[in-house]
Amino acid sequence: MVKQLHKQLGKVDFWNPDVGKWGAEILADYGCGYDKIFKYKVNTHCHGIGLDEITWLMQNCKDKWGWHFQKGNEQYESKGEWYTKWDCVISFNSKQDAVYYVIQKDN
């Protein structure tokens, strides 16, 4: 399933005229992407997720994955911008995918 997703997408931020959808919509069809929450969670301690990160997830994960936001560390409160109060959390359906992500991203 996920290999089919990789072949179909290539990159996330594009219009696919064959299916008439944007990349993020295709991700959602496969149960991946924004607001998909799974058992194994990794807090990125960042305020968002970039296209390079999504591309990495698409190319390396064998199972479903997603990201959402949760209230972060209160140290950000003083900056006064609402998004700085939230951390991006990437979650994985597979423990192996989560471990691989942490190992690769810590290097």
Q: How confident is the prediction for the chain on average, in pLDDT?
A: 78
Q: Look at residue 28 and tell me whether its pLDDT is greater than 60.
A: yes
DSSP-assigned letter for residue 12: S
C-beta neighbour count of 99 within 10 angstroms = 13
Write out the residue range of the structural domain in which residue 33 sits: 2-106
Q: Any residues with CB less than 8 A from the CB of 38 and at least 6 apart, and which?
A: 64, 65, 66, 91, 92, 93
Residue 61: its pLDDT value, please?
93
Q: What is the pLDDT of residue 13?
A: 56
Q: Write the pLDDT tens digit of every residue in 52-67.
A: 888 889 889 999 999 9
**How many domains are there within the chain?**
1
- Quote the pTM value: 0.73
Residue for token pair 């959602």? 28
